[in-house]
A and B are shown apart, each in its own frame.
Chain A
Amino acid sequence: MAILLGFCSLMASCTSLKPYEMVYVKDAEMQMGDEAGKKFENYVQSIREGAMPAASQKASGGCGCN
């Protein structure tokens, strides 16, 4: 519930930004994609845990049975 409330308050503050105000959100670290190290860790987690990690590359395509 707290998460939902926090999310709603975040959404309520959505504003349009001018191009010069985009400097922080365009920063490479602010992107949602994963780097090579994180992708490999997600791959390991997809094998060693019952769940599939969010946005992982692999949903199958390998035994992972070692």
Chain B
Amino acid sequence: MVRIKKRFALGCFVLSNCFAQAQTPPDSIPPPPSKTEIELVYSHYIQEGNHSAVTGGEGTEKLMVYGPSFNLKNTRKKRTLTLNLGSDLITSASTDRIDFVMSSASKHDARNYVNAAYTLKSEKRGLSFTGGAGISMESDYLSLSQTLGIVKTDKHELRTLSASLQAFNDDLRWGRLNPDYYRPVKLVYPIELRKTEWFDEYRRQSYTLKMGWTQVVNKRNVVGIFPEFGLQKGLLSTPFHRIFFQDGEKAVEKLPDKRLKGLAAFKWNRFVGGRTIIKSTLSAYTDDWGIVSVSVENETAVKFSGLFTLVPHLRFYAQKASPYFAKKGLHTSDEPYFTSDFDLSKFHSYKAGMRLKYYPRNLHPRRWLVNGWNLDYALYFRSDGLSAHIFTLSFDLSFTKT
């Protein structure tokens, strides 16, 4: 009886081996599914102020920007494609003063932009390489950009090192979005100063080297250091910014044709308790135009019921003025450089806001998924009186192809 049982068991084993499929060899494991993430974003910007550089440092800075954009990220195997396109529709009271004709064509403008990037990942080496290009167009501005980047992640995923180089080639001639031209024509000067050709140059080149180092310190702390260096060359003045000299004469803004910038930021993200994350950023900046600045920022994310996250955020920024800056009527014409743009003045600014995020747990995976949404509001206030309301609403969707 025992012998029969043994033979039966052996027979079953042989039979099962005859019909069993061979184990899938590692190199034929099906590739991970293709995943496409889509982000629909709408940003809205409302600004008030009374120091417009278009009117020489005094005058309305009322501005509104409607900014829809679309971001797409497709990941398949080792490669990721990203696409970012959008438009900023601008209604500006200050640029309306270039020609003193209220509600003229200069009141409305648009910035249309497209950026694309390709990332290739080598998991064995923990490396990823990115190459990208972009274009941005306004009526008085065309910018072509290229980006190259590399990220190295250690095998335990505790440390990353990154570096990227960005190059921008810009053309500041006006006319591309004007129905009479639809091509670059000339630099646009304030209407009463158009008898003089103030600049020979109409191009601007910018290069930025960004580096990053992040480190997981322990179970609850991650830190990062981000140094950046920038070089700009070409026409760095804005040709329709007016200058009023002490003697009553007028000119357009004049700034050096080169600018070197340096910045370093330190970030520290800390998970406190079971539902609170404190994110702090400290950064310092300097350039050879005499601007020195520091900023401190804090975001505290509090998770509620696993669905909602509330993120109050605060930022303080202080800046020393460039020696090229003076208020309206204080410059003299014998100075080599002059501007009345309050963006280059001495000031401090505050930003306070709140972000609400809703990301439900998706227990039933579907091909199309609405992952969640974010709503962000911030109030920005600058010590020279400029203030702004900034809104952003975004929806995250994803599509998984199996």
> What string of 1s and 0s marks CB contacts (under 8 Å) between B362-380 and chain A?
0000000000001010101
In the assembled complex, B226 has its CB within 8 A of some CB on chain A? yes
Asked if A59 and B271 make an inter-chain contact with CB atoms under 8 angstroms apart, the answer reads: no
What are 11 A-B interface contacts by the 8 Å CB criterion? A10-B221, A29-B279, A29-B303, A37-B43, A40-B43, A41-B380, A48-B382, A50-B322, A51-B293, A52-B228, A62-B113
Residues of chain A with a CB closer than 8 A to B392's CB: 36-37, 40-41
**Given A61-B136, A61-B168, 17 other A-B residues pairs in contact with their CB atoms under 8 A:** A10-B268, A11-B215, A14-B216, A22-B216, A24-B220, A25-B220, A32-B222, A36-B376, A41-B390, A44-B45, A44-B390, A52-B263, A54-B226, A61-B134, A62-B111, A65-B53, A66-B94
How many chain B residues touch A (Cβ–Cβ < 8 Å)? 97
Residues of chain A with a CB closer than 8 A to B388's CB: 44, 48
Closest to B143 in A: A61
- Measured as residues with beta carbon below 8 angstroms from the partner, the interface class of chain A is 35 or more
- Kindly name the residue among B141, B287, B359 whose own CB sees the greatest number of chain A CB atoms within 10 A: B141
From 34 to 66 in chain A, residues with beta carbon under 8 angstroms from any chain B beta carbon are 35-38, 40-41, 44-45, 47-55, 59-63, 65-66
From the candidates B95, B141, B263, name the one contacting A54 in the complex (CB within 8 A).
Answer: B263
Instruction: Report if A66-B219 is in contact (Cβ < 8 Å); known contacts: A30-B269, A48-B343, A48-B380.
Output: no
In the assembled complex, B63 has its CB within 8 A of some CB on chain A? yes
Instruction: Report if A63-B138 is in contact (Cβ < 8 Å); known contacts: A29-B277, A44-B45.
Output: yes
Residues of chain B with a CB closer than 8 A to A47's CB: 343
Instruction: Report if A27-B241 is in contact (Cβ < 8 Å); known contacts: A44-B390, A54-B226.
Output: no
A2 CB, min distance to chain B CBs, angstroms: 11
Q: CA–CA, A16 to B215, complex, Å?
A: 11
Asked if A16 and B158 make an inter-chain contact with CB atoms under 8 angstroms apart, the answer reads: yes
From 53 to 67 in chain B, residues with beta carbon under 8 angstroms from any chain A beta carbon are 53-54, 61, 63, 67
Residues of chain B with a CB closer than 8 A to A15's CB: 218
> What string of 1s and 0s marks CB contacts (under 8 Å) between B112-152 and chain A?
01000000000000000000001010101101010000000
- Kindly name the residue among A10, A24, A54 whose own CB sees the greatest number of chain B CB atoms within 10 A: A54
From the candidates B168, B277, B301, B386, name the one contacting A48 in the complex (CB within 8 A).
Answer: B386
The 9 closest A-B pairs by CB, nearest first: A37-B376, A54-B265, A51-B285, A60-B206, A37-B392, A61-B143, A60-B168, A50-B291, A59-B208
Asked if A50 and B374 make an inter-chain contact with CB atoms under 8 angstroms apart, the answer reads: no
Asked if B374 and A66 make an inter-chain contact with CB atoms under 8 angstroms apart, the answer reads: no
Asked if B301 and A10 make an inter-chain contact with CB atoms under 8 angstroms apart, the answer reads: no
Q: CA–CA, A32 to B384, complex, Å?
A: 32
Asked if B170 and A60 make an inter-chain contact with CB atoms under 8 angstroms apart, the answer reads: yes
Asked if A49 and B219 make an inter-chain contact with CB atoms under 8 angstroms apart, the answer reads: no
Instruction: Report if A24-B219 is in contact (Cβ < 8 Å); known contacts: A48-B386, A62-B111, A66-B94.
Output: yes
B93 CB, min distance to chain A CBs, angstroms: 9
Residues of chain A with a CB closer than 8 A to B378's CB: 37, 41
